[in-house]
Structures are given as C-alpha cells and as structure tokens.
Amino acid sequence: MIPHEVDDGNDCPSQHGDQAEATSDIDEAAITAVAAEQDAHLGVKKVEAALRVYGRYSRWCLFIGLGLASYIYSLDASTTSVYLTFATSSFGEHSLISSITVAQSLIIAVGKPVIAKVADVSSRGTAYVGVLFFYVVGYTVIASAPSVSRVAGGIILYAIGLQLLTQIIIADITTLTWRGLVVSLVSAPFLVNAFIGSNIAASVIEHAGWRWGYGMFAILVPAALAPLIITLLWAENKAKKLALIEDTLLWRFLQTAEQLDLVGLVLLGAAISLILLPLTISQSVGGQWRNGSIISMLVLGVVLLFVFAYWDLRVAKRPVISPRFLKNRSVVCAALIGFFDFMSFYLTYTYLYSFVLVVKPWSLIDATYFMQTQTVALTFFGILAGVSMHLMHRYKYVLVFGLVVRLVGVAMMMHSRGANASDAELVWTQILQGLGGGLAAVSAQVGAQAAVPHADVAIIIAIVLLLTEIGGAVGNACAGAIWSNTMPGNLEKYLPWLTDEERAELYGSITSVTSSPRGDPVREGVIQAYDDTMKIMVLCAVIFSVVPVLLALGMPNWYLGDKQNAVDAADLTGRGPIDGEDDEDVNCLGGRQLA
C-alpha cells in the first residue's frame, strides 16, 4: 500500500487475459487542466513527498493514527445519533429532527469541497487541525444548549468539523487494487461499536443525560486524533527539510484564496437550504404553504441555484465542480448514485428510531441495538466488497449487485414498517439494506477515484460526497415534509377523543408516547398514525432506489491495478506524470475499462 520503493513493473492488460479494449478517459484539454492543478496543489505535492520519507516505524504510526481516528468517529456515530431524538423531545420539538438533520447534511455537504481544497493547497495535517477545532466547539455548544435552537447551532458547527479526511488519506497511500479493502477496513470499528456504543448510549440516556453524551466527545476526539495529526505534520515537515517541497506563507495564502470558491459554495448552500427547509417547517408557520415567507424562500432558492450555475460555469476561476468532471462518466454516475441512494435511505431512516420506540415494546438498549443492525451489515459487507474487488480487479459487478439487493430491502419495508410487522421482518430489512449498501458504497467510491489523476482525487471524493450528502438532505427534508403534513392529521384520525393540546404533546415529544404501555388506546392510536405516515415515506424511497441501479449499469468497469488511479501512469509517489505522449503505457498501466 505505502510502497518501500517505487514499483516500475508492467501491469499490462495482456497479463490478465482480458479481451476488453484498453482505453483512456483523459483527453488533451483534461490533461492540460490536470497539469495546472498539479502545479497549484501544494497539498498533493506534500503527500507525494511525504510518502518518500516514511520509514517502517512512521508508517506504523500513520496506520495506528488512522485506526484511532476511525474508532473514535465510529463510537461517535454509534452513540450521538440516538441523542438527537431525546434532545429535541426535551424541548417539546421532536418534529424538528428533520429540519436539524437537513441543516446538518447541507453543512457537511458544502464543507466537503472546502476542506478538500484546504487539504490540497495546504496539507492533510493542516486540514485535520481545522476540522478538529469546529468539532470540539460544536459539541461544547450542544452540551450546554439552553434551547433547541442552540442544539441546532451546535450541530451545524459540529457538522463543519465532521469532514472525514480518512478517505482522502487512504486514496493518497493505496493503489487501486487495495483501496476498496482499506476503505472498508476503516469502518471495521462499527462491528464492535454497534454493541459498545449501544450500551454507552442507553446508559447515558438513562443516567447521565443526552448533554453528557455529546460533551464527552469534545474531550475524547482531540485525544484520539492527536497521533494521526502529529504523524502527518511530521512527515510533511521532514519532506520540506529534505527540500522535496517548497512553499512560502504568502504563496500558500494566495493559492488558498484563489482555489476556495467560497462564493460558489455559499450560493450552493444557500440555494439548497432555501429550497429544502420550507418542506420541513411549512406546517409550523401561519398560513402554511400560503405563508409569504415560505413562498419567498422557495423562489429565492431557485433563483440562487441558477446564479450558482452561472457563477460556476462562467465566472469562477476554480469552480466548485470543474466542467471536466461533468464530462467524466464515472464521476457523474457515482455522484448521482450517492445522491439517490442517500435520498432513499434518509426517507426511511430519519424517524426510524422514533418508530421502533413507539411501535415495539423494546427496552432502550434493544432499540439502540436494532438501530445498529444496518451499520454492522454495512461494515461487514463493505469489507467483503473490498476483498472481492481486490480479487477480481473490477468493481462494477459488486456495485450493481449491491444496489439491486438494496432495492429489494427497501421494497420489503412496505410491510415491515407497519404496525403489525414482526421483529424478524424489521431486522431482516435492515440487514438487506446493509448488505446492499456496504457493497455499493465502497465500490462506487473506488469507481469514481479510479477515473481521475491524483491531483483530482481529493476534490472528486468531496464532489461525490457533496452530492451524496445533498441527497441525504433532500431525503431528510422529504421525510420531514411527509411527517409534518400527515402526522397531525393521522393523530386526529386515530385519536379523535383527545384534545388538540394532548395530540400536540404526543406529536412534540417521543417520551409522552412511550410512557404509555402497549395495549393502551392512546399508544395504539399513535402506532396506527405512525404506520400510515411511514408507508408514504417507504413508497417514495422505493421509487428513488430504482435510479441508482440504472446509473450503475452505465458506469465504466475500470481495471483496478497496482497504480494510484486507472487513467495515468503515476505511482503513489507521483512519479510518471501525465504527459499524453505514451498512450500505450497509460492504457497498459491502468486505463482499462469495460463498457
């Protein structure tokens, strides 16, 4: 993975007995653009230089640092996802879950290109220090929040810090044949934390309270990330001392200012926010959809979306999404697969924890275990996907199969998300979702990364995840819109004998529902209301799950060889740059694809 020396061996198609035509995805214009990016991206140069100074012990320090970072992020995700339900309910604002998660998804999405650019034009270590600062501040704000608006503000700050750079680092230090496996192994801590995290989350909710659940990570995360950050900065500094890289503070500042298309990112984030947030808050304002503010937000959002498109295509020197990426079939398909897959996923996931707490007479720990079922399956089958791609040197078969299984799992939810579904049905649909999602997520990432040179890897990862997170925001917004537009009416339908105030309390707090036992007329009425609402969400999710399967069929099936990517002859240390002069070698060294 990190080579002791450069491997100049020939990885020619003929050695693998494949009859597919060797092709290259980079035209002359793209070669020029990539060359310009390579000249500008100091961070990429630092990575390639740092790879030449790693020894045996420093290499182990890097992997241990990655392992610790992966573990603490996994523990965070396995616990804090539970706390939001109780945090919003404590303020009587349970229905705002979707609004908060929409805002979080948008910040995560828009932040990815920014952090990727920072990592490219400064260094990976510097970018990690920046995200850690926002992470700690965000969780500190949440832990001390006196209102649900402060909780939302803290989550937005935390979302800026939740920019996982591990994928970029893995793409830097692994060849294509190993990348899928290493990416999936980074998620391996979820196999353990699904159980450890569930016990921690249940114990925190029952004893310490949700505030401490958030606050403890403001202490744990800096301690866990310190070894990785120190190792990255050490390697970059050593490479600089050896004169492998050259830079000045002024040069770095000017390059960063030019490369961060902050105007484009602000326009994109504002446009999507103004379009999606009205979906989740329309029922809580006077006049609902006829309210002037709601209409103004939607109109302004659409206008800003067109302004963003004009800015990015006509004005920006370094656009958020470069036009050459829009011509790259692998990148476009991978990004759209992520968009529709996350849209479908969050339609069924946003209110899932609330659903199982209300519908099933499970203890808090059992409900939390259930929520980790899909995560465990995602992790296990993600590792299996990495092994499969390493053995087959192809990714498309794994991707298509995974998305088909995921579609089947969503379709089965039409019954399992009902009031009378068995425990086995609920669990099996989660396992199928995890099986398909684990195979698809890893293979789609590798497919997109294989299609671009090293200079573009960080921003391509960011673009794919940008569209993926936006899809999640759309899914959250749709779930929130369905919830806020149907749940009050369903509660009135099944609980007509309650007063408006009593129904409003049931709508605003999950704990007011779970305090009644199964069999109680009030709880049974709420269950029927949840049933009707969830069915609409699942039906929409099934429709959107079909699209990724069709997109996957159109992706090129790159050969995954022992190179950094599948379109040029460069190895992990940057030797063998794109020059467009030796097409035979370029194809032979990795630019092979099956239609």
Nearest to 460 by CA among 436, 444, 438: 444
Q: In this model, does residue 102 exceed pLDDT 90?
A: no
Q: Which residue has the tokens 């009135």?
A: 492
Q: What is the mean pLDDT of the chain?
A: 76
Interhelix angle 166-173/124-143, rounded to 10 degrees, is 160
- Which tokens belong to 527? 């269950």
Q: 243: exposed, middle or buried (C-beta count within 10 Å: 0-12, 13-18, 19+)?
A: exposed
Q: Please give the average per-residue pLDDT across 109-114, as a whole number.
A: 72
Does residue 115 register a pLDDT over 80? Answer: no
Q: Enumerate residues 6+ apart whose C-beta is below 8 A from 125.
A: 229, 232, 233, 236
Average pLDDT over residues 185-192: 82
- Please give the helix or strand (H or E) that residue 197 lies within, else none: helix 189-203
22 has pLDDT over 50: no
- The per-residue pLDDT for range 40-63, each reduced to its tens digit, is 455 555 555 555 566 677 778 888
Q: Distances from the Cα of 151 to the Cαs of 30, 155, 417, 531, 553, in angstroms?
A: 45, 6, 29, 29, 42
Q: What is the CA radius of gyration of the chain?
A: 24
* Fold match between domain 51-258 and domain 322-566: yes
Q: What is the pLDDT of residue 549?
A: 94
The model's confidence at residue 248, banded by pLDDT at 50, 70 and 90, is low
CA atoms within 13 A on the CB side of 362: 20
- Better pLDDT: 137 or 125: 137
Task: State residue 574's pLDDT score.
Answer: 52
CATH topology of domain 51-258: Growth Hormone; Chain: A; (1.20.1250)
- pLDDT (tens digit, 9 = 90+) per residue, 265-324? 778 778 877 777 776 665 555 655 666 777 788 888 889 888 888 887 788 777 767 777
**Highest mean pLDDT of the ranges 27-41, 351-365, 525-539:** 525-539
416-424 LR contacts (CB < 8 Å, sep 24+): 417/348, 417/355, 417/531, 417/534, 417/535, 417/537, 417/538, 418/531, 418/534, 418/535, 419/359, 419/527, 419/528, 419/530, 419/531, 421/359, 423/360
How is the chain split into domains, by residue range? Answer: 51-258, 261-317, 322-566
Q: Rounded mean pLDDT of 582-592?
A: 37
Does the domain made of 322-566 have the CATH classification 1.20.1250.20?
A: yes
In tens, the pLDDT along 333-367 reads 999 999 999 999 999 888 888 888 888 888 888 88
Residues near 47 by beta carbon (within 8 Å), at least 6 away in sequence: 123, 124, 172
